[in-house]
Amino acid sequence: RPALAFPLGVVLCLLLAAGGAVAQPAILPAPVEAAFSAGSFVVTTETPIVVPPGDAEAARVGQLLDELIGPAVDGAPAVDAGGAVGAIVLDRRPDRTDLGAEGYELEVTDRGVTITAPEAAGLFYGAQTLRHLMPPHVEFTAALPRPLPVPLGRVVDRPRFAWRGAMLDVARHFFSVDDVKRFVDLMALYKLNRLHLHLSDDQGWRVEIPGRPALTDVGGRTEVGDGQGGYYTVADYAEIVRYAAERFVVVVPEIDVPGHTNAALASLPELTCDGVAPAPYTGIRVGFSAVCVEKEETYAFLDDVVGALARATPGPYLHLGGDEVKTLSAEQYAAFMARAQQIVAAHGKRFVGWDEVAEVPLQPGAVVQVWRPQAPAVAASVAEAVAGGAAVVLSPSDRIYLDMKPDSAAVLGLTWAGLNGVRDSYDWDPAALLPGVPEASVLGIEAPLWSETLGTLSDVTLMAFPRLAAVAELAWSPQAVRSWPGVRRRLAAQAPRWTALGVTFDRSAEVPWE
């Protein structure tokens, strides 16, 4: 190996000396197109960030970039509408429709940085790319001033999939508003844009529903193990939604019905067929609970819950779970799901469910979240749903379930779907996962993180990284620019950034860490 590495090194040095190829910066996810040349533009805390006058959305992106780069030591105005040389310019160009709703172009010359995009989302993603072009020590936001050289070059970029998601299970263990915000920050760094919150399960009910205080008074006080649980008030939930939206992340709330409902049943005994509340449950079994699908009280409850969440959620989606129902007949399940879908539609939202819902008739526009593509019966029912017009979000449990242990030595996590290594998570083509599900029917990719064994944000990020960053590339980058050797290198470069951010991550043996 050293014998091979030496000549390779010599060749690279010669290339660099000839003024040709320059080491590729580690932009993650890999952009559609990028070219860099020797030299750099140095950003400092005095570098003005120029935003289009009267464009509040672009100004907010500029503000976030300013918070990263740091306040000018001498108090110079950081965000303004001037035309200074040596600036970072956010240039909103509605006519650049070639870039798509989330795309951008970024150009770095010795005269400054320009990010061009038709929409504010593109400006934000361009700003994230700029962040990846700066040294990882940019994340030490109090160490001012620090040198921030940006390599000269040009990037043209847009996402492959519209839905680039992560799911956080706040039901098995509760995570605070601040924890969720830190998680959103990390999603945004990798251009992820859907935060699916699993807000209810057997072990807990995590969101205040006006008029139904029992749900949180009882169901909000337990979690797996002996912990005290918790829940988001209406104001807390609004704050999560606002914070996420500022980072172009759409919140997808999930209330899991008709199964996974012990916390709701313990809170509202009218939802059980015999009217008797079960005891709270804090173990990790699944499949034993269900609301009484024959009682009108059940649908009144669902209407209150869906109505409250629909009003509190600006995004178009409402997830009603539908998974692992082992105590109802197929007929009972189908009858319940028909009414549940009507309730979601009546409140103006688009229905999302786990892949069990592919077995029942779906309303137009329904989204099926596929977690068991390995099962032939599931693959068949999903293909049939897609033929009938449904869209899918791919969350294959044997690839991107982030709660599966990454290797057999891991302490956190479960193993029922196998071990999900970094390469397992990354090295597959979403367009080829399921026969009968072409790329045009794939809305996107989402990596779920169930929290049976996770009690803190540090546990969460240790399971999420590096795999979630690899999944982000799977969801953003075109198949042609992706490769396992490439992403290994880009993942390795994240280590100093995560260290600077104080984020725990798994030092997987699959990645040659810097």
Q: Which residues are catalytic?
A: 324
Residue 102 touching ligand TNX (CB under 6 A): no
Count how many residues are written for the chain.
Answer: 514
Of 100, 131, 133, give the one whose Cα is nearest residue 117.
100
| C-beta closer to ligand TNX: residue 48 or 204 | 204
Six-digit token string for 300? 């009144």
Question: Any idea which residue has 């690279």 for tokens?
Answer: 12
Instruction: Tell the smallest beta-carbon distance from residue 305 to ligand TNX (Å).
Output: 19
- 159, amino acid identity: P
| C-beta closer to ligand TNX: residue 205 or 401 | 401
Instruction: Tell the smallest beta-carbon distance from residue 397 to ligand TNX (Å).
Output: 6
Six-digit token string for 94? 């509605």
Six-digit token string for 310? 């629909």
| C-beta closer to ligand TNX: residue 40 or 200 | 200
CA–CA distances in Å: residue 240 to residues 52, 180, 310: 27, 7, 15
Instruction: Tell the smallest beta-carbon distance from residue 340 to ligand TNX (Å).
Output: 16
Instruction: Tell the smallest beta-carbon distance from residue 92 to ligand TNX (Å).
Output: 40
d(CA 186, CA 192): 9
**Residues contacting ligand TNX: total by CB under 6 A:** 10
| C-beta closer to ligand TNX: residue 301 or 450 | 450
The 380-419 contact track toward ligand TNX, x by CB under 6 A, reads ---------------------x-x----------x-----
**SS3 category, 296:** helix
Six-digit token string for 373? 């593509």
78-97 residues near ligand TNX, rule: CB under 6 A: none
Instruction: Tell the smallest beta-carbon distance from residue 191 to ligand TNX (Å).
Output: 25
Instruction: Tell the smallest beta-carbon distance from residue 136 to ligand TNX (Å).
Output: 32
Six-digit token string for 416? 């029922």
Residue 371 touching ligand TNX (CB under 6 A): yes
**SS3 category, 43:** strand
Q: Are strands 442-449 and 112-117 parallel, antiparallel or unpaired?
A: unpaired
CA–CA distances in Å: residue 343 to residues 268, 321, 333: 20, 14, 15
Instruction: Tell the smallest beta-carbon distance from residue 202 to ligand TNX (Å).
Output: 9
Chain centre to alpha carbon of residue 352:
16
255-294 residues near ligand TNX, rule: CB under 6 A: 286
| C-beta closer to ligand TNX: residue 171 or 391 | 171
| C-beta closer to ligand TNX: residue 378 or 511 | 378
| C-beta closer to ligand TNX: residue 271 or 402 | 402
Residue 450 touching ligand TNX (CB under 6 A): yes
Of 256, 291, 246, give the one whose Cα is nearest residue 448.
256
CA–CA distances in Å: residue 438 to residues 249, 304, 380, 381, 443: 25, 37, 14, 15, 10
d(CA 182, CA 458): 11
309-368 residues near ligand TNX, rule: CB under 6 A: 323-324, 354
d(CA 401, CA 417): 8
Phi, psi of 488 (to 5 degrees): -55, -45
Write out the residues near ligand TNX by the rule CB under 6 A.
286, 323-324, 354, 371, 401, 403, 414, 450, 452
